[in-house]
Structure 1
Amino acid sequence: MLFGRKKRSIVRVLVVEDEPLIAFDTEHLLSDASYQIVATVDRVAEAIAVLRSDSDVDLVLLDVNLADGSGLDVARAAGERGVAVLFVTGNFPAEAMALAAGCLAKPYQQRDLIGAIEAIEANIAGRKTRRLPTGFRLFAIPDAAPVAPGPEVDAR
């Protein structure tokens, strides 16, 4: 590994958020951090359709309360495909813990979102995380959510 390069297993992200400004900011932040946005959707049905398509997704960034239903349904569909889930919400229900790799409370700082994704990635790889971001809770990775190694990405 070269100095400044980090091999990532989480590269392709599905953003499921029904607040347009938050969705736009999240897309911009993750793209700038060299993540690939598979899609940004605001409905349960659209998110499930992306997960059931041929799209490669490493992580679903998911709000719990969506305009047309519950993000828990999306998390279940992600689990069926072995895709890790990071809930980003102000209202996290206890039953969602079994479906997610972690939860980041809204509102959050941009660096905390990146840190939460990195903590999930480290957890999946069996590495310890020194410090968790503010407002982030890391859960045991559900058995159905291994992340396949992604392409090497320059994470500078």
Structure 2
Amino acid sequence: MLFGKTERIIHRIVIVEDEPLVAFDNEHFLRDAGYEVAATVDTVPEAIAAIMEGVDLVLADVNLSSGGSGRDVARIAKERGVPLVYVTGSCPDDARNSAMGLLAKPYSQRDLLGAIQAVDARLAGRQPRRVPKGFTLFAE
């Protein structure tokens, strides 16, 4: 199909975010964009439980208020073969080893969607059409 939409690889997303307004906005925006938000959580144990249920992508803040870290979530996601994008204001030193990309806060909803689409394209073996401002897609 010449002008048809490409099939998405990413359908189910887990949001790991301890800022309630950011989490709420992201959850509703992504649902409106056609994604299934499998869980919106703010602790490492809840994130791990959601990953174990089966998801296609994890969006994780690095610093969580519960004392846990998005780096712990990234380690488990990587072990399970689930891609993760850090959505954070502070980039961990080992981000390139534990995630597919990093979206810097603050970001717009359009940039969030563009980051997910760029990861989706990479997972499908395609070059992303656009990499949004503030998003770094790490090399494989």
Q: TM-score, with normalisation over the residues of structure 1?
A: 0.84
Question: Residue 127 of structure 2 aligns with which residue?
Answer: 128
Percent identical residues:
60
Q: 1:2 to 1:36 in 2, by over 3 A?
A: farther
Q: Secondary structure at the match of 2:21?
A: helix
Q: Mark the runs of 5 or more structure 2 residues left unpaired by the alignment.
A: none
Partners of 1:75 and 1:62 lie apart in 2 by: 8
1:92-119 Cα deviation digits (max 9, x unpaired): 1121221101000000011000000000
**Pairwise CA RMSD of aligned residues?**
1.4
The higher relative CO (CA closer than 8 Å, separation ≥ 6) is in 1
Structure 1 SS opposite 2:103: strand
d(CA) in 1 for partners of 2:4 and 2:90? 37
Q: TM-score, normalised by structure 2?
A: 0.93
> Deviation at 1:125?
1.6
- Segments of 5+ residues of structure 1 without an aligned counterpart are 142-156
Q: Which residue of 1 aligns with 2:115?
A: 116
Equivalent residue pairs, number: 139
Query: In the alignment, what sits opposite 2:138?
Result: 139
The alpha-carbon deviation at position 5 of structure 1 amounts to 3.6
Alignment correspondent of 1:62: 60
